[in-house]
Chain A
């Protein structure tokens, strides 16, 4: 399904109102479109749909026009009238507002032809950016709840589970456990009362896959939950969603109410006799609550602390009952699998990694945003083909895959396939889908420190290796970035990393050392430079660099002197200036303001 397919009516202007575009003013843009359409007297033929996220968040506010699929990035209020006037006049487009891959390149008219979109395969995001997430009819027109209907009318729970197993779908939350198998365990667990939980406690820095899916197409998740509930024999479900996702929470509540009203949730669903009720629980912002046992504790009203497994939630979960916990993205795949068949899903991807995976592509990449690609694509194709490579044509230095639990791949390994096993082999993980691209301006030691700071702060404190081990690792790596590294620090870090990985209670601690281990593995020389030469090649570690003024380039304009907050720069007017290394606080204000690029960080 592409965003230029019509839902109802003929001409539709789709304005993205996902969090990213809304922050960039898309709500006002949508209002302006409606006003402009009314002004042009085109209310009968043109209509505005406020959609969820398209994924190309770096180019928002995004507007597409159906049925032709004309694509306008970065639509500001002043562009609205001209777009509408042209549309109403002859159905055409305003070419100067179209997307251009480079400033001097030819514009690309259609959404589907934009490189960012062309290589994607959208299953999870099939209706994202297309439908109005607050209008169930919009979703229904594009097949929402067809999967639930098919499951209830034609499949018994056992064959449904077999289908999901045969599809090869694995949990998209990070661990990659076979979804059908999890359903089988929960169905087979003894007990009358069972639960389905949707894990929407997305917490990786830079990851927003689950938020976007819920904000853009909440029905795909609810439908997946209802199908899962039917399969395992549950009548009650919870969506555990971060309270920091207010828009997702709001749209979820609207979607639940609308689905109940239409009979897709609640009593006697679609006349089948099957009942299923969904409740929303808002998480209070602890990363560890994404871990399933901590999440369950949190729903139960307890402190979100992981428990040792087994018993797994499939046998003893919420309130001690068998519970199936699936991630948002996993659930959003389900209806598609039921409708299109397990074979269709299994035909996408490779080996043990079937279907597609959504990634939040961020960092030093030209086109950042949300992308869904078939499993088995290379990381290079994703970063360069879809993301357009690094900004300003620089080479990408490394890609961090899997967020703070993942690992980083150096440039040389970008041909690694996006597959569970292939990524694990090189020290990264598919994870929940965070993908951060960095270039030579990023110090890999500092980069590892950043992720460790996050996991350290988010450790629940229950087990010793995670609570104290990550703290000591962070202290050592911080020392290294501050130029106080000592011989033996790298070995100490490696030892601690292994111990924390092996001895921690839950996935948080077991994976927290990954960024450190992979950066040491692939960029050991950077660590050594920091320790032995007190040198940071990226110039990112403030303690290891200082600013100098190139006397040949300096015109003595004194702009730097004016902006220096601590008076560390002196010099005669029209004479080359000098920076006092002692007084300089390395804020970088001088570099930012120098009109002649005469100041360098060395």
Chain B
């Protein structure tokens, strides 16, 4: 299938003549062209939302301060992304947010990877000029091992609510209460598990601050202490691109780089949290063969020979129908193809199945 090339639109951003594709937002075009615009509620995996108001710009002929994340480019559009007025409004928004944010950055797992922290730093805000009540946070009932929710740090960007709805289709969390007391939560403040959460951790992946964090990696390492190692998830044949966060040679958490690979930044529960086996003392690191009731380490050649001999013996003694093969979804298509070929030609049986059918 060939797609018609997108219509090219010319516009001016900060006096710079630029080309964009029809349907793109002003924010997308800015980011493609290296023009910095701060955002908190934006995630390319989600529909534009326009809640944090940080990406406001000025557009000739348009009243007020439209948000660049929700504004589509138009022919001849003239955009200003930074002016003293815009800078002042953005600063004010961040100051307001900080006045309602639990500033426990010292022990926050998101420190160093926190969008609010970055923006406050960029604007040089040491302290909010505003003080006052902080939003009320209901006592959580979470006893899960994976997702830590601390709504005292929530900035109400709605990203967790939206990713759960738009990407996962699960609607485990939604907004509760309104106005200053509005907060994302499960229905009736149930535990995540009781609310039907599958613990994909997508909400954690999109949270720009420390309101949602991975429990397994709590206090295990600061962001700047970790190395990011890109890999392919071995759990199934989809082959999602993952990024292991490694400290001192050990994985402490997993993410997925936005826009990369088949998954484009999304992961399931297995991909995100199913890596603890890598450092398990029970993990097999070499082939073992049972001899005299004891498992003994052997070479791969030896191990394969034991298996081959025994399969051939069973086939000869009991016929090919006595052998069956169960392949793993962790294998690639090609590996699965070879496996069925082995069973059909070398053993002579059609007894082949695959765990993905379960």
A159-210 interface (Cβ within 8 A of B) = none
Contact check, A458 vs B179: say whether CB atoms are below 8 A apart: yes
Q: In chain B, what residue has the closest Cβ to A456?
A: B179
User: How many residues from A make CB contacts under 8 Å with B?
Assistant: 31
Interface membership of A371, Cβ < 8 A: no
Interface 9-residue window, one of B45-53, B145-153, B215-223, B344-352 = B45-53
Kindly supply a per-residue 1/0 record for chain A positions 445-462, scoring 1 wherever the CB is within 8 Å of any chain B CB and 0 otherwise: 000000000001111111
Interface membership of B213, Cβ < 8 A: no
Interface membership of B180, Cβ < 8 A: yes
Once the chains are docked, how many angstroms separate the CA of A459 from the CA of B181? 10
Interface 9-residue window, one of A74-82, A339-347, A498-506, A578-586 = A498-506
User: How many residues from B make CB contacts under 8 Å with A?
Assistant: 36
Q: For residue B224, give the distance in angstroms from its CB to the closest CB of chain A.
A: 28
Interface centre among A288, A475, A502 (most CB of B within 10 A): A502
Once the chains are docked, how many angstroms separate the CA of A505 from the CA of B88? 17
Interface membership of B70, Cβ < 8 A: yes
Interface membership of A365, Cβ < 8 A: no
Contact check, B178 vs A459: say whether CB atoms are below 8 A apart: yes
Interface centre among A307, A308, A468 (most CB of B within 10 A): A468
Provide the main secondary structure of the chain B interface.
loop
Contact check, B133 vs A471: say whether CB atoms are below 8 A apart: yes
Contact check, B53 vs A461: say whether CB atoms are below 8 A apart: no
Interface membership of A305, Cβ < 8 A: yes
Q: For residue B46, give the distance in angstroms from its CB to the closest CB of chain A.
A: 14
Chain B residues with CB below 8 A from A471, complex form: 100, 132-133, 179-180
Chain A residues with CB below 8 A from B64, complex form: 502, 510
Which of B49, B65, B93 is A464 in contact with, Cβ under 8 Å?
B93
Once the chains are docked, how many angstroms separate the CA of A468 from the CA of B179? 8
A456-483 interface (Cβ within 8 A of B) = 456-465, 467-469, 471-472, 475
Chain B residues with CB below 8 A from A307, complex form: 50
Interface membership of A250, Cβ < 8 A: no
Interface membership of A12, Cβ < 8 A: no
Contact check, A462 vs B51: say whether CB atoms are below 8 A apart: yes
Chain A residues with CB below 8 A from B156, complex form: 461-462, 464, 467
- The number of inter-chain residue pairs (CB within 8 angstroms) is 99
Contact check, B96 vs A460: say whether CB atoms are below 8 A apart: no
Interface membership of A286, Cβ < 8 A: yes
Q: For residue B172, give the distance in angstroms from its CB to the closest CB of chain A.
A: 15
Once the chains are docked, how many angstroms separate the CA of A510 from the CA of B64? 10
Contact check, A303 vs B175: say whether CB atoms are below 8 A apart: yes
Contact check, A461 vs B180: say whether CB atoms are below 8 A apart: yes
Contact check, A461 vs B182: say whether CB atoms are below 8 A apart: yes
Known contacts being A499-B92, A504-B53, is A464 close to B97, with CB within 8 Å?
yes
Can you list 20 A-B pairs, Cβ within 8 angstroms, ordered by A? A305-B175, A308-B49, A308-B70, A458-B178, A458-B179, A459-B179, A460-B179, A461-B175, A461-B181, A465-B53, A465-B92, A465-B96, A467-B156, A468-B97, A468-B180, A471-B180, A475-B133, A499-B88, A503-B92, A503-B93
| B residues lining the A interface (CB < 8 Å) | 48-53, 56, 64-67, 70, 85, 88-89, 92-93, 96-97, 99-100, 129-130, 132-133, 155-156, 158, 174-175, 177-182
Known: A464-B96, A468-B96, A472-B132. 4 other contacts (CB 8 A): A286-B178, A462-B182, A469-B96, A503-B56
